[in-house]
Amino acid sequence: RSRGERELQPSLSLLSCPGAGQEVQTENVTVAEGGVAEITCRLHQYDGSIVVIQNPARQTLFFNGTRALKDERFQLEEFSPRRVRIRLSDARLEDEGGYFCQLYTEDTHHQIATLTVLATVAPENPVVEVREQAVEGGEVELSCLVPRSRPVAVLRWYRDRKELKGVSSSRENGKVWSVASTVRFRVDRKDDGDIVICEAQNQALPSGHIKQTQYVLDVQYSPTARIHASQAVVREGDTLVLTCAVAGNPRPNQIRWSRGNESLPERAEAFGETLTLPGLVSADNGTYTCEASNKHGHARALYVLVVYDPGAVVEAQTSVPYAIVGGILALLVFLIICVLVGMVWCSVRQKGSYLTHEASGLDEQGEAREAFLNGSDGHKRKEEFFI
């Protein structure tokens, strides 16, 4: 049958009232959650005595056919000498239990019709909480809670698409289960703003469906500071704007400007993260500092201001070509001097006397040995000079 109509075959119980010979029968009923259940009390040899129907909490639903409890889900379908039949719509887990059919004669007798609700409870979106404020360099502990599921939901943690290992526990709460999971990991300032996901799933959810909650990490850390100038080169008469870029969690709410051991120029305008210096002059030169702090620490940044004279800058730019030409000329003169010195040194080493082929007498001697032994005695030495 459909979810709203599914029932099991009823089991009959018989109560005999010996004083009056009356009998009461009840039927046990099983229904799917959200469905419709009919609870019936059958009467035999009924003589008009009082009949009372009560729920598992022993609250009277109907007294002799008259409504006693203001729960519109229960409707009296039939009240006759043969049977009493009530209809329960939108059956819930809390409706489970024994329903009493009471027949008041000389003695009070009752019979119980047991209602069973077949239910799978899908988990809702998990609730993620942090145990205490996360601080850089420490650990953060997150808890994920699903207060109601049946069967027990499975919880998983994810961060940067990687599963984290958590510790889970479950507790039965009436007809459903409460499930919790905790996870711990170290954090740094770069983790601030990261997303951690807790997912819940059980068989009550359609295939492939999950319930999840995203938690954005809030990691507190000490501040940092850095000064940015509105221009790289500043000249007399310019307006310079210095910006102190600060970061921290919690964000520093006060920034203080100073100039070394001196006070800021009277023309300076300090407003939060910016310091404006209009009409710069050389007297404004110095080291400017911005300072910021929060409960986790202190930060400072420095900027050295040098105001240039426009005339001096132009003169320095025009003097650059002459310096280059002078250097090249000096290098050429040095190379010429080196060449002349080398030539003189070579001439000195080559100057002297030596025997030529003709002077050695080799033309008149038959053999080289005779020429060598006699040539130096019989011929005049020939001298040549090389300059």
- Chain centroid offset of residue 107 CA: 71
Q: What is the average per-residue pLDDT within 114-124?
A: 89
The residue among 364 and 83 whose pLDDT is bigger is: 83
Q: What is the DSSP string of 69-110?
A: S--TTEEEEEE-SSEEEEEE-S--GGG-EEEEEEEESSSEEE
The pLDDT mean for the chain works out to 83
| Residue 258 main-chain phi, psi, to 5 deg | -150, 165
pLDDT tens-digit readout, 211-247: 999 999 999 999 999 999 999 989 999 999 999 999 9
Q: Which residue, of 219, 251, 282, is where some domain finishes?
A: 219
Q: Does 51 score more than 60 pLDDT?
A: yes
297 by DSSP, 3-state: which? strand
Question: Residue 334: pLDDT band by 50, 70, 90 thresholds?
Answer: confident
Q: Which domain holds residue 250?
A: 222-305
Q: Is residue 381 assigned to a domain?
A: no
Both 47 and 105 in one domain: the answer is yes
pLDDT value at residue 340: 87
| Residue 313 main-chain phi, psi, to 5 deg | -65, -45
Q: What is the C-alpha to C-alpha distance for residues 2 and 23, in angstroms, rounded to an integer?
A: 34
Helix (H) and strand (E) counts for the chain? 2, 29
Q: Is residue 336 assigned to a domain?
A: no
Cβ pair 8, 29 in contact under 8 A: yes
Question: Residue 304: pLDDT band by 50, 70, 90 thresholds?
Answer: very high
Q: Is residue 349 assigned to a domain?
A: no
Q: What is the C-alpha to C-alpha distance for residues 104 and 144, in angstroms, rounded to an integer?
A: 52
| Residue 169 main-chain phi, psi, to 5 deg | -150, 155
Q: Which helix H or strand E contains 350, and what residues bound it? A: helix 310-350
Name the nearest CA neighbour of 250 among 297, 194, 188: 297
Question: Residue 2: pLDDT band by 50, 70, 90 thresholds?
Answer: very low
Both 252 and 235 in one domain: the answer is yes
Cβ pair 10, 27 in contact under 8 A: yes
Task: Check which CATH number belongs to the domain holding 299 and give it.
Answer: 2.60.40.10
Q: Is residue 38 assigned to a domain?
A: yes
Q: What angle do CA 121, 123, 129 make, to 5 degrees?
A: 150
Tell me which of 3-7, 112-116, 265-269 is least confident: 3-7
Question: Residue 380: pLDDT band by 50, 70, 90 thresholds?
Answer: very low
Q: What is the C-alpha to C-alpha distance for residues 183 and 212, in angstroms, rounded to an integer?
A: 16
pLDDT value at residue 54: 92
Both 58 and 113 in one domain: the answer is yes
Tell me which of 40-49, 159-168, 288-297, 341-350 is least confident: 341-350
pLDDT value at residue 176: 87
Both 179 and 238 in one domain: the answer is no
Q: Which helix H or strand E contains 166, and what residues bound it? A: none
Both 210 and 235 in one domain: the answer is no
Tell me which of 146-150, 257-261, 380-384 is least confident: 380-384
Q: Is residue 1 assigned to a domain?
A: no
Both 193 and 243 in one domain: the answer is no
**In the structure encoding, which two tokens stand for residue 51, read together?**
């009949």
Q: Does 322 score more than 60 pLDDT?
A: yes
pLDDT value at residue 329: 85
Both 111 and 183 in one domain: the answer is no
pLDDT value at residue 48: 82
Q: Does residue 265 have a cis bond before it (omega within 30 degrees)?
A: no
Q: Which residue, of 164, 197, 219, is where some domain finishes?
A: 219
Q: What is the β-pairing status of strands 176-186 and 255-259?
A: unpaired
Question: Residue 45: pLDDT band by 50, 70, 90 thresholds?
Answer: confident
Question: Residue 268: pLDDT band by 50, 70, 90 thresholds?
Answer: very high
Both 138 and 212 in one domain: the answer is yes
Q: Does 351 score more than 50 pLDDT?
A: yes
Q: Which residue, of 254, 284, 305, is where some domain finishes?
A: 305
**In the structure encoding, which two tokens stand for residue 235, read together?**
């000249």
pLDDT value at residue 373: 52
Q: Does 178 score more than 90 pLDDT?
A: yes
| Residue 307 main-chain phi, psi, to 5 deg | -90, 120
Q: Does 313 score more than 90 pLDDT?
A: no
> Considering its fold, how many domains does the chain have in total?
3
Q: Is residue 313 assigned to a domain?
A: no
Q: Is residue 3 assigned to a domain?
A: no
Residue 21: how many CB atoms within 10 A of its CB? 11
Q: Which residues of 342-354 are buried (b: 16+ CB within 10 A; e: fewer)?
A: eeeeeeeeeeeee
Both 94 and 167 in one domain: the answer is no
343 by DSSP, 3-state: which? helix
pLDDT value at residue 316: 46
pLDDT value at residue 119: 81
Q: What is the β-pairing status of strands 127-130 and 12-17?
A: unpaired
Cβ pair 47, 20 in contact under 8 A: yes
Both 38 and 55 in one domain: the answer is yes
Both 97 and 171 in one domain: the answer is no
Question: Residue 158: pLDDT band by 50, 70, 90 thresholds?
Answer: very high
Cβ pair 61, 85 in contact under 8 A: no
Question: Residue 379: pLDDT band by 50, 70, 90 thresholds?
Answer: very low
Both 210 and 226 in one domain: the answer is no
Q: Is residue 325 assigned to a domain?
A: no
Tell me which of 43-52, 66-75, 239-248, 352-361 is least confident: 352-361
What is the model's pTM?
A: 0.57
